[in-house]
Structure formats: C-alpha cells, structure tokens
Structure 1
Amino acid sequence: MQVKNFLILLSSAVLLASCKNGGLFAKKKEKSEVTGWNYNDKNQGGFQVAKSRDQATGPGLVFVQGGTFTMGQTEEDVMGDWNNIPRRVTVPSFYIDRTEVANVHYREYIYWLTRVFDPEADENNKKIIDAALPDTLVWRSELSYNEPLVEYYFRHPGFNDYPVVGVSWRQAYDFCLWRSDRVNEGVLMDKGFVAPQSIQGQQQENNFTTKSYLLGLYQAQPGKGARSKKNPLKTPQGTPRTNVTFEDGILMPDYRLPFEAEWEYAAYGYINNNPRPSLKEGKRGEELITQKQVFPWSHNPNGLRDTKHGSWQGQFLANFKRGSGDNAGVAGGLNDRAIYTAPVKSFYPNGFGVYNMAGNVSEWVYDVYRPLTNLDADDVAPVRGNKFMKMYKNESGEAEVDSTGRVKMTEVTDAESRNRRNYQRGNVINFLDGDSLSLASYGYGQTTLVSDKSRVFKGGSWNDRAYWLSPGTRRYLEEDQASSTIGFRCAMDRMGSPEGNKRKTGNFWKTRKQTR
C-alpha cells in the first residue's frame, strides 16, 4: 500500500513539473508564423508581443467611423469665396470630443500649469502661464457693454460648462499636448505601472510627458502593479517589467486638433442615415452616399425640433443669430435659450453623438487655410499644414527635453528629403499653393490676409447667421489670434479596425482544403 501511494505521489510530482515546464496541460504559447518560435517565452528568445486588443476610448471622446463623403459646398456660395468647391474624399476612422472644450476643462489646464510652473519661483514660468491664459478682452466691443463677460465668463461657476473662448489656435494646440500627457499618466497610475504622482513634486522639466517617458528621459517611480508577480509585462528573462512601451497597447495616441475634413465629416453624422450595421460579419449598412444635407441635423432640414421627442415646434436645434438684432428671441420663449454661448451639451447630438457642431462657437481645426486646398489635397485623409519633424539629438546622439519637460524636436530639412519619392521637402504648408511651382503668391497685409499662420475655423457661432452653420463653410484667422466666437474640441487617431471595437477587419472566408 505504501509503495502504491509513493508511486501516485511520484507521478503527480512529475506531472506538475511537466506543467511548469510547458508540459501536457501548460498554457499553449502563441507562435510566430514566420519562425515557429514562441512569443513571450524566456526559453525562446523572450520576444514580447501584447495580446491584440481594441483601442480604448479616451476621456470625453466618441468614435467616428470613417468613410467617404462630399466635402465642401452644399448650397449656393452666397459669399462668393470659391473656397469650398465640392469634392469627394475619404476620412479614416477617428475619435472626436463629444462636446466643445468648456471653461472648467481649460481652468483645470491652467491650474496644473500653475502648480508645476510656479510663477512666483521663476520669471520664465510666469511667461508660460501668461501664454496659456485665454484672452478675455475678446468680449470687448466699442459699442456694447460686455465688461461682465470680460471679468467673469471664464471664472464664474455659472459658466463652468460653457465653451471656452478667447483661445488662439496655438493655445488650443498646446492644450491638446497637455491633455495627452495627463490622460496617459493617469492610465499608468490606474494600472499600477507608475506610483501616484503629486504635481507639487513635478517641477518644470521633471514633469511627465508621454514621449519623454517612452524614451526613458522621465524616470517614474514604479507602482504596485509593476512590482507585482502578476504584472503581465515581462522582460526577455521572464521577470516583471516596470517600464511600459507603446507596443504594450496601454498608452493612448495623442489628442490633437481635428483636421478640417474630419471635423466636417463628423458634423454631418451621415451614419444616422444608414441602417445600423450588425456586429455579425456580412451584415452591413447601406452605402447611402447621395445626401447633400445642409446642416448637421437631417430629419428636420428646416431646423425645427421634432415633436415626437417631447419638444415643441419653434425651438431651435442650434445656438445662432436668427437675424439682425435677434440673438435669442422674445422673453418667455427664447428660441435657442442663449444670448451669447450655451452649455456645451445643449441641443440634440448628431448621428455620431457629437454636440454643437453647428452654432454656439465656431471651432479651430488643424488645417492651414488656402482657398483651393479642396482641389489639391489627397483623396484620403486630406490636410494642409504638414511640417515634418524629427527628434533632436545632441552631439552624443541622445535625445533631450526642454525646460518644460517636452522632448526637443527639430524640422526635417529639404536636404534630408531630397532623395525620397513620396516627399521632397520638410515644410509642405505651401505645397501646390504658394510655392515656386504653383506660381501662386500671398502678399500678407498687402493683397490678402492669407499667410502660413492662417488656420481654418468651422461651424458657425452664437453671433452668426444660419449660412455659416453648414459644415461645408470655412473661414480663417491667424493662429495667434482669438475671438469671442471661436472655441475648439480635440480629436484622436484610431488604431485598428475602422469599423470600431469588437469588429473584424477585412473580409474573411473559411480556409479552403488544398487539392493536389
């Protein structure tokens, strides 16, 4: 009996050992289809491959499934600008903010800057804070009384959820950079890869930025999750890895300003006009690409609300100026319930679930303005404003951070681009419109107000007539200027399936049996 028990124990021990060493019941490791070696196996090289996963939706964003649409003019060009000639383009899938950036969001940004770059400690820090503050003087006008808005619009809690204005394109661009870093730092803290940080301890160049962290220029204290044996990230030797790489699928792409084509596409919300596609492969929406609607709402082209949804005819679908001297309607029945701006979640969202893509405030987009970009730009992801950059490296070949903690970047030179086939210049803002080959010139301040600093804004505002509410209309302003009618929202690139999360990519068929 003792011999029998001994044999049972011995066989159990052998079985357990075989499991630990990749035996019969060990979890099967994923293999490379090009070498046959195991991934994530310290005994076969230790090449780490993260499990395929869908991209997480960042805070405040909604998914916009890409597609083709007619960009540009959808009604008579009453302004005679000839700057939005219709053209069909394709927009890749992306994410965009559900709402415009509100005062409370921008105040959070200013708060963080003030804590990290203490203006009392350094004169240069004060310059950083001053450069980020919105210009509240945009509310002033020679023949109106707007001083209360100058003093209180940005600061009073009654305006917390109203869109921030007085922000230049450059300030909006910097806000997107800051937001990217705060979101990714929060993700690392939530997952335990970075110890909870105190912004009091992050001064100037020592503050977290995503790029400096990935390059190893920012040394974060590892959190409990990174030191745990359950940490899914491993070194080639199989020990827990404390630093996260972008290949791990944990960090998010950067927030940025939406491109003009993206903004216009998201504003129309055409997906609302197609039958909802099924999650099952083969069940797709119809390709209804013939709509030429004028405004972001499609079911009520006259702009009045549908009584089926519990509202009444006569209430507007956007915050705009109905006519001369009529910015709100009559007391007791204000047609848009706003004199100036309205809260960022006012009115119905469109087909993509995005609010106020018409009216309230116009919005900055990324693009540099040129009248005929619609004709020149690529069919897919059209944009003007590219200035190709690369990481700056010192004499030792190492990357560096500046006084704000950001990785130093420098422009790609024409000499570096000369032998390429897909581009030959580093700065292509003027490509085909303003360069020597185009024979076009813009005498800024003499014959035109167009320059390389002219940025497009879209969507119409609380002080605009209905014409400007059409997503196809476009205007421009210098990137260092601001207005009481212009705000912004952020966007983010989409990684993976263009149809969204939990969907396959491409068309799939069962593998056919080979015949000899």
Structure 2
Amino acid sequence: MQVKNFVILLSSAAMLSSCGILGKKNKGGKSDVTGWNYNDKKMGGYQVAKAKDQGTGPGLVFVPGGTFTMGQTEEDVMGDWANIPRRVTVPSFYMDRTEVANVHYREYLFWLNRIFPADDPANKKILDAALPDTMVWRSELSYNEPLVEYYFRHPGFNDYPVVGVSWKQAHDFCLWRSDRVNEGILMKKGYVSAQGIASQQQEQNFTTKSYLLGLYQAQPGKTATSKKNPLKTPQGTPRTNVTMEDGILMPDYRLPFEAEWEYAAYGYVNNNPRPSKKEGKRGEELVTNKQVYPWTANMNYSGLRETKHGSWHGQFMANFKRGAGDNAGVAGGLNDRAIYTAPVQSFFPNGFGLYNMAGNVSEWVSDVYRPLTSLDADDVAPFRGNKFMKLYKNGNGEAEIDSLGRVKMEAVTDEESKTRRNYQRGNVINFLDGDTLSEASYGYGKTTLVSDKSRVYKGGSWNDRAYWLSPGTRRYMEEEQASSMVGFRCAMDRMGSPEGQGRKTGNYWKARKQKR
C-alpha cells in the first residue's frame, strides 16, 4: 500500500512540474522554430525583448497612414504642370505637433557650443555652419533691421518658428535631436550615467549609432549595474549596453517626405467616423480627398466651425497675406493678429492635431525637387532623394567616427549595385528625371534653377496669398539657401502596427479545428 501511494505521489509531482507549478516556468517565451526557450541561460541565452508598441517621442503626434490624392486637386489657377494629382499611400509615421521654434534651435546651438568650445579655432567652422541666417529679414525697400537683430535671440520670440535655416541645417538639427532624445532615454532608465555628460567633448560625444556600434563608451548608470537589470547577457548576468532589439531606443528624427507632409496637412482622419479603440470596430473607407485647406476636416460644409459658444464666422484659420499690402488688417481688428510670424501653437490644429500646416512659415521637406516626380515615384511612400549609404570600414574592417563624433558612412557604388534587381545605382536622386535613361538634363543657372540640391518646401507662409495655403502646392529652393518665410518640423518612422498603440496588424479570426 505504501509503495502504491509513493508511486501516486511521484506521478502527481511530475504532472505539477510539467504544468509549471513546482518547476520554474520560462517567462521569456519559446521558439516556434526550434522549441528552445528564449532568455534562458541554460538553453543558449538567446535574448528576445517582449513585443511592445513604439513610444511617442518628445513633441511628436502619431499620424496613421493611408491613401490620398497627392498634388493639386482643385482648379489650378497657376497652371502648374509640376503638380499633377495622383493617388498614393503613405505609411504611418510621427510628426512634430508644431514647427521648430527659436528656443528649440537655440538649445541646439547651446549644445554645440558646449561640446565644441568656441575658444578652439578649429571649432569656429562647425559653430558658424549651424547659425541661422538672420539676414534673410533684410529687404532693399523695407525696414526690418529689428528682426535681423532680435527675432532669433529675444525671449519675446521664443515660441515663434525659427527661420533663416537652410535645408542642410534643418537636416543636421534632426540628427542632433535623435541623439539627444536617445541619450536622455538611456539616462532616465539608468543605463547611462548623467555624470558622463559633463565630460563629453568633440569625438567623445554621444551619438546613437556610435553607441550601438560600441564606438562610444558610456559610463554605466545604476540600472545597468544592478542585479535587477532586465537586460541580461547569454550567461544571465546584467548587461550594461542597450541594443536596438531591446525596444528602448527611438528611431531617428528626420525631415518629413513631401508625401508625408502633404498627407498630414490635410488631416483626413476626421473625414471618417471615429474608429473605436476596440479591436474589430473601425471607421469605413469614406474618403473625400477634395478639400482645399488643412482645417476643412474640422469644419462643417460652410468652412466655419459651430461650437456651443457660437460660430467662428470670420476668424482667420491661418497666418497669411490676405491681399496686396494687407498682412494683418486694421488696428483694433487685426485679421490674423500677426504681421510677421506667430507662435508655433497659434491657430486651430488640423484633424491630426498639427498646428500651422498652412500659413505662418513654409516648411522644408526631405525630397529633391523634380517637376514630374509625382508620375515617376512608387505608389507607397513616394520619395525622391535616395543616395544609398553604407558603413565605412578601415583597413582592419573596423568602423570609425569622424571629428564630430559621428560614425563614418560612405556612398554605395554603382559597381556594388549593378547586379541587384531592385536598384542598380547608389545615387538615384535623378532617376528617370535627369539621368541618361530619361534623356532629360538640368543646366542649373543657365536654363533652369533645378539641380540635384533643389529641395521641396511646402505650405504657405505669413507673406503668401491664400493659394499657397493648400497642402497640394509645392515650391523649391537650393538646400544651402534660406528664407524669412521658410522653417521646418521633424518626423519619425513608425515601427509596428500602422494603426497605432494597442492595434494589431492584419485581420484575425478564431482558428477552426481542422478535420483529420
């Protein structure tokens, strides 16, 4: 009897152990391919972070992707053949809620002056290259010297959009912002010590790519050295370095593509019924892509918003020039209440919650300008401006950093690309429009003002007529040039579900039991 009871006890213990009640159940998951446990030092120690949604970076708004008609959709009074309408699809992404303001750009300059001290003559070129051109306010027949002197620096203009910034300067700002945001995340989570910031100088300053490649040695924070650190080595000990696979770091900030900017400006999300947060209940495909201005989706059919407090009848929805000589209206009744620019959070946001997507300042986008790109570009994520790059490696096969602390990159050559099926050249900026295949040429400064450095800018400004307020309009300028009417905002790629936080990708049904 005792032997029988002992056998029953052993069997019960085995069953409990197999159910994970007595035995330690692996919480890291198991591979559907090999059956091996993840995050288990006894089974190789392969680390897999728990699937999670991408966080929203500072200043950003989530823009769910979709299909829309890009280009001029209204009667084109300008006869602009460079803006032919075409339906395209834009993947989900993030965009700045507002234009980058003077105070934000001064923060960038402050960091540069701290890392690259001005008392070193070698740094003067770096610092001077980042300064906005305040001379853009000058005009031969107007008195704008106060703006030349004070617009960028005076605290009265802190929250006004930065202008006089070239495309290249805006691009560099995005790079800097990416690194500061990721460095801040690592400090707040305790993987990098804040004490190491004071010692950063020139080549030894934090950049995301140099950190990930091990070219920047960060001083570990409290979490990194703690036994409670959730990041582990294959041997199960705390891991001090964070990798992109951990889901902690953000993708890079960048300038938005032209299609992204135009799509975001319309704010079409309010044209559909509000999608339910419950999975399986969504808005229908009721797209009416024929509106003219960004605020139309927030208004009724008359273009005026009715509220409990009365109508907004007659209120200006953007900062622009109503007509010749009228940049503000009359004293005591200013129409847009701004003579030049206005604070970046002024006026009513569009359907995505984005401010000043019409008026205030026009904005740089990433694209290289060509008149017929709309006909040539892909259906999904259309963009012109690709110049494919790769990691530079020295004679020892090692990556290096340059004098700014950035990882060295080099152009992909045509020789490397010629056997590929998806592209055959490294630099495809002029693909199908300016290359030998297209039989088109652009003699910059002789027959045209278009070159491979011509960048698109979108939206109207404080000094533009209403025509330019429509997101479908487009203009261009050389990437080294600047204007008192052009600023910028940043964007970021979306990783994961295109519908946002907590939403699945694809449609799902309950699995049916197969008949055998």
Same fold (TM over 0.5): yes
Whether the 8 Å CA contact 1:64–1:93 is kept in 2: the answer is yes
In 2, the alpha carbon distance for the partners of 1:497 and 1:374 equals 27
- For residues 505 and 257 of structure 2, the distance between their equivalents in structure 1, rounded to whole angstroms, comes to 24
- Aligned partner of residue 201 in structure 1, secondary structure: coil
Query: Residue 202 of structure 1: CA displacement?
Result: 0.7
> Structure 1: which 5+ runs fail to align?
1-10
Following TM superposition, by how much is the alpha carbon of 1:80 offset from its aligned partner in structure 2, in angstroms?
A: 2.1
Q: Is the 8 A contact 2:304 2:311 kept in 1?
A: no
Matches within 5 A, 1:106-117: 106-117=105-116
SS at match of 1:297: helix
Contact 2:271 2:288 in 1 (8 A): no
Q: Distance in 1 between matches of 2:415 and 2:21?
A: 54
Name 1:191's counterpart in structure 2: 189
> Once the two structures are superposed, what CA deviation does each residue of 1:369-413 show, in whole Å capped at 9, x if it has no partner?
000000000000000000000010000000000000000000000
Per-residue Cα deviation, 1:252-304 (whole angstroms, up to 9, x for no partner): 00000000000000000000111111122221101112330000011257765
Mapping of 1:34-45 within 5 angstroms?
34-45=33-44
Note the C-alpha offset of 1:123: 1.8
**Count of aligned pairs:** 500
Note if contact 1:294-1:301 (Cα within 8 Å) is conserved in structure 2. Answer: no
1:91 corresponding residue in structure 2:
90
* TM-score, with structure 1 as normaliser: 0.94
Cα distance in 2 for partners of 1:311, 1:156 equals 36
Pair 1:301–1:469, CA change in 2 (3 A): farther
In structure 1, distance between residues paired with 2:448 and 2:499:
42
Match of 2:457 in 1: 457
SS of structure 2 residue aligned to 1:127: helix
Partner of 1:3: none
Equivalent positions of 1:456-475 (< 5 A) are: 456-475=456-475
CA contact (8 A) 2:271 2:287 kept: no
Taking the aligned partners of 2:294 and 2:175, their CA distance within structure 1 comes to 29
5+ residue gaps, structure 2: 1-9
Q: Deviations over 1:335-383 (max 9, x none)?
A: 1110000000001110000000000000000000000000000000000
**Structure 1 residues 480 and 436, CA gap change in structure 2 (3 angstroms):** same
Structure 2 distance, partners of 1:467, 1:190, is: 46
Give yes or no for the alignment of 1:139 onto 2:122. Answer: no
Q: Give the structure 2 partner of residue 202 of structure 1.
A: 200
Counterparts of residues 52-131 of structure 1 (less than 5 Å): 52-120=51-119, 122-131=120-129
**Alignment deviations for residues 50-79 of structure 1 (CA, whole Å, 9 cap, x no partner):** 000000000000000000000000222222
Give CA-to-partner distance per residue, 1:209-241, whole Å, 9 cap, x none. Answer: 000000000000110001111111000000000
Deviations 1:112-154 (A, max 9, x none): 000000011x222111110000000000000000000000000
Q: 1:202 to 1:29 in 2, by over 3 A?
A: closer
Question: Is contact 1:70-1:87 (8 Å) kept?
Answer: yes
Contact 1:40/1:47 (8 A) holds in 2: yes
Alignment deviations for residues 68-106 of structure 1 (CA, whole Å, 9 cap, x no partner): 000000222222221110000000000000000000000
How high is the TM-score relative to the length of structure 2?
A: 0.94
Paired AA for residue 354 in structure 1? L
Q: Give the whole-Å Cα distance in 1 for the aligned partners of 2:311 and 2:156.
A: 25
Q: How does 1:104-503 map to 2 (within 5 A)?
A: 104-120=103-119, 122-197=120-195, 199-298=197-296, 299=299, 306=306, 308=308, 312-503=312-503
8 Å contact kept, 1:391–1:410: yes
**TM-superposed deviation, 1:466:** 0.2
Alignment check: 8 A CA contact 1:303 1:316 kept: no
Root-mean-square deviation over aligned CA pairs: 1.7
Which region of structure 1 is more displaced relative to structure 2, 196-205 or 34-43?
A: 196-205
How far apart are 1:25 and its partner, in Å?
5.4
